[in-house]
Amino acid sequence: MIRRVGILGGGPAGLYLAMLIRRRRPDIDVIVIERSPADATWGFGVVLADGGLRQLEAADPGSYPAIRDVLFWTEGQIFTVSGEDVPLDKSRKGGAVKRLDLLRVLQAQCRELGVALHFNTVIADLTVFDDCDVVVGADGSNSLVRDSHARAFGTEKYLLTNRFAWFGVDHAVDQSHLNFKPVPGGALVGHYYPYAPDRNTFVMECDAPTWEALGLDVKSDSERRRITQSFFRNELGGAELVENNSIWRQFPVITNENWFHDRFVLVGDALRTAHFSIGSGTRMALEDAIALADALTFGLEREAAFARYVEIRAPAMEKLRAAAERSFSWYERFSEKIAGQSATSFALSFLRRTGRISDERLLRDFPAFVAHAREKGLVLPKPLASEPVA
């Protein structure tokens, strides 16, 4: 029987899991250990798209209104290449949320439900969980739980060659933007979106050739911020990029062949990282938590509960993981793609990067892009007789 669950990491996955377990099974003790203070976190806003929100509502109608209340809604995305806007219409409605607001909502729900939350607690090993039947690694991409049993989990890690840093901006932009900008020796891409009426997240990214061409490899992080933001002076309206642990780094791709081992099980970024270009890391972490909570509260023995978690979650996760892999591979050396083609054919290559946009979907879901591309002389598949395009 599962009576006590220990969770390492009070990020989105750990807190949501703790809350769901206690909501469904108040007889199970849940303890969360988090190294940071309750009111501090890295980063700024994150996007939770429409489909993910519906899952949160279905999983726990009790907490959903509080999550919905801290969301800032946007619709559509402006896609810009070399200063030219290209209309891409298939953009979903999404809510962005300040990461800390999301954590605060989840912390409050956990407290109400009697989860034992321990902040500011740094542990050197996992012995603190010796009295737990289940130990969950919700401790992010540098997971101690995972790395303590890396061989059993079958962990694989590698770094992408692109560099990125996560900033904030105290300046209003109306919509989500993806802005590819040629610079001397390469190109930068700014992924930026509002998460409050006057606040934006700004993820700055460059590929390896650009990193060297701009001399960023020999600069400090603040100098890198100053240099790269200067190319977005107009878009930023003269505002500065704001730092919050904004370290320039290479994205770690992490996978685990086994999701559980003995008493230990992984969720969220500890289990697998999802590249930010598909915007789904937080959503995936929360959906892992839903699947694991379902499995752990079903009244099964531990091993069977873990197997059920994998069975529920693996198919959807595999699809997203594969899409993320194709997406980040496309982004590697994106400056060469920009240099070698028109803005419109670059946009088409972007749309098709994950392999999920078939000819039919392109014609059906992206009529404004198709019309624009034809106007620019791009040869596209012919419309199907049954599917007129705009």
Residues of this chain that interact with ligand FAD (CB under 6 A) are 8-14, 33-36, 46-47, 123, 138-140, 144, 164, 166, 203, 268-269, 274, 276, 279-283, 285
Residue 151 Cβ vs ligand FAD, minimum distance, rounded to whole Å: 19
Residue 325 Cβ vs ligand FAD, minimum distance, rounded to whole Å: 15
Residue 269 Cβ vs ligand FAD, minimum distance, rounded to whole Å: 4
> In 3D, which of 167, 59, 54 has the Cα closest to residue 106?
59
When the beta carbons of 4 and 364 are compared against ligand FAD, the nearer one is: 4
Centre a 10 Å sphere on the Cβ of residue 184 and count the other Cβ atoms it contains: 8
Residue 320 Cβ vs ligand FAD, minimum distance, rounded to whole Å: 11
Distance CA 44, CA 191 (A): 13
When the beta carbons of 224 and 372 are compared against ligand FAD, the nearer one is: 224
When the beta carbons of 195 and 343 are compared against ligand FAD, the nearer one is: 195
22-27 long-range contacts, CB within 8 A, separation 24+: 22/110, 22/113, 22/114, 22/115, 23/60, 23/62, 23/63, 23/113, 24/293, 24/297, 25/296, 25/297, 26/113, 26/114, 27/3
When the beta carbons of 34 and 133 are compared against ligand FAD, the nearer one is: 34
Residue 123 Cβ vs ligand FAD, minimum distance, rounded to whole Å: 6
The upper half-sphere exposure of residue 289, i.e. CA atoms within 13 Å in the direction of its Cβ, equals: 31
The beta strand positions in the chain, using DSSP E, are 4-8, 29-33, 45-49, 72-75, 77-81, 84-86, 93-98, 116-118, 134-137, 155-159, 163-169, 176-183, 186-196, 199-206, 241-242, 252-256, 260-261, 264-266
Residue 337 Cβ vs ligand FAD, minimum distance, rounded to whole Å: 21
143 in Cβ contact with 137 (< 8 Å): yes
When the beta carbons of 117 and 285 are compared against ligand FAD, the nearer one is: 285
When the beta carbons of 133 and 269 are compared against ligand FAD, the nearer one is: 269
